[in-house]
Amino acid sequence: MQKESYLLIFLSADTPEHLAQLSTEQLNWFENELKTHPKMPTIVFFHAPLDHTLERYNRWANTPNFVAQPKEAIHRLIVQNPELFLRISGHTHTSAKEPSFASSINRYEQVTNVHNSDMNKETIWSNSLFLEKDRVRIQTYDHQAHQWLPSLERTILVPKF
């Protein structure tokens, strides 16, 4: 979907034998969408994060079933498409208390991976994306404390072509 000057791509894990894999058909569709919109800043929403965009804080982080697959094909698309700059994921249910929730490790090539926490915990955090003309602001809200967390606010600049 197009929202203002942004292209928003929504993908789903559609290969039954893998928790985090795009099918060949969906990968081809994704590649075609990028070719069709080569100059639009693009945000991707996909359940699983990009490889190594978190510290190894538990036994699942950065393992094949917990990162987007096929990772070689996804890497190729990222490198070939500078308009890709932001990715939103949730598969790892990363707590906002985890140091790599919002850190420099979240960067994969030119793409920043935004991680989301589990909604079934005592403390619930949610991320909001504010699409502005030349940047996306990401703010994290602590639902237990009823407040935004300024220390986790991030600003991602839109790529220039």
Q: Do 48 and 89 contact (CB within 8 A), yes or no?
A: yes
Alpha-helical (H) ranges within the chain are 24-36, 71-80
Q: Which residue has the tokens 């800043």?
A: 41
For residue 63, pLDDT beyond 70: no
Q: DSSP string of 110-153?
A: TEEEEE---SSSSS-EEEEEEE-SSEEEEEEEETTTTEE-GGG-
* Residues paired with 23 in a beta bridge: none
| CA of residue 52 relative to chain centroid, distance | 12
State if pTM tops 0.85: yes
- Render the burial of 118-150: b for 16+ CB within 10 Å, e for the rest: eeeeeeebebebebeeeebebbbbeeeeeeeee
pLDDT, tens digit (0-9, with 9 covering 90-100), for 81-140: 999 999 999 877 788 898 899 999 999 999 999 999 877 677 899 999 999 999 999 999
- Provide the mean pLDDT of the chain: 91
